[in-house]
Amino acid sequence: MSGLPNKYSTIVSPGTAATLNLGATAAVCPPDSQTIAQHPVKQISHLYYGLYQTGTVPFLLQATPPLTEEHSMLDAASPCPVWWTVNLWALEITRQVIPNGNSTLPPLPLSTVMADGRRFSRLKARISWENVLANSIDVDIGTGICLSLLANSLRVSLLVPPSFRLSTDRGGQELGPGNIVDSKLAVSAYQSESPVGEKSATFTQYVIRPADNAVAQNIPVPPAAKFVTIYEAPSSGTNNLQWIQHNPTSAVPCGEIIFPTARLVERIAVPQNADTLRIPAAAEAADRGWNITWHLRF
């Protein structure tokens, strides 16, 4: 255990990320540094209070603007690459639309969220880590995830859409009018001698093409995306999507997604020479939406 210190320190302050620092900065890792006699653990949780405006589709993600990195929740580091197990989960309550435009709803107390919250979150997270190269993926929190990463350092940040107002102030700030989300979000990271979590995750986007839209929408393929599942709505007709590779002066078609009458394509391979999923322009009588779930492997 000569490669790692016996003690580690944490730095936690309200509204900021938790930091786990394992100290040593040696350029060369000792041979026994991968033998973890102790398992340092860092865990942090926050109670978030947010709002999306009345009349908007909650957490709708168009191609632009992208998700915004709002809060860095946890940072962890070691003197050389080790396996990190990262757990991320939430309890969440979504409350009704505020009927009076001048009304506000205060945050729910922690006890209510812990007792009545659903083990689910609409929010998403960005996980960044470094092992020779810097890496970053955006993931669904959903019903909870457990991931394994080989890294010198990692960071977990909370992502929300730009239109979503978010507050960690529980002391009386009130948001309204709109739909209120109270979310108890928790993240932990610890070292392990071998990977015990998943090396895969999902990232879901919901995209709407307005009726009579004459402009194609380009959806960037997320990092580490290997497969994709897409649901199309409404039920009238289907629209095919295209895989595109962008060059400095042109866009090269790489393939096409042809929807069956069931309006579902399930876990199809993402062409690894494509960097964009294109939704063609079309004139229709009603809006059309696609629920796109990227399957990530890293």
pLDDT at 81: 92
Residue 4 lies in a domain: no
Note the maximum CA span of the chain.
69
Percent of the chain with pLDDT over 90: 38
Residue 13 lies in a domain: yes
The pLDDT tens digits of the residues spanning 91-137 come to: 999 887 666 655 667 788 889 999 999 999 988 899 999 998 999 99
Taking Cα atoms as reference points, which of 8, 163, 144 lies closest to residue 75? 8
pLDDT at 163: 63
Residue 126 lies in a domain: yes
For residue 126, give every residue at least 6 positions away whose Cβ sits within 8 Å of its Cβ, in sequence order, or none. 67, 69, 136, 137, 138, 139, 156, 157, 158, 159
Predicted TM-score of the model (pTM): 0.81
pLDDT at 52: 72
Residue holding tokens 């070292």?
A: 191
Q: Which domain holds residue 224?
A: 201-297
On whether both 87 and 112 belong to a single domain, the answer is yes
On whether both 106 and 17 belong to a single domain, the answer is yes
On whether both 155 and 253 belong to a single domain, the answer is no
The pLDDT tens digits of the residues spanning 242-289 come to: 999 987 677 888 999 988 888 899 999 999 999 999 988 887 888 888
The pLDDT tens digits of the residues spanning 16-29 come to: 444 444 333 333 44
Residue 1 lies in a domain: no
- Of 155, 171, 196, the position where a domain reaches its end is 196
Which residues of 3-67 form beta strands (DSSP E)?
9-11, 18-21, 41-52
On whether both 180 and 283 belong to a single domain, the answer is no
- Of 149, 173, 196, the position where a domain reaches its end is 196
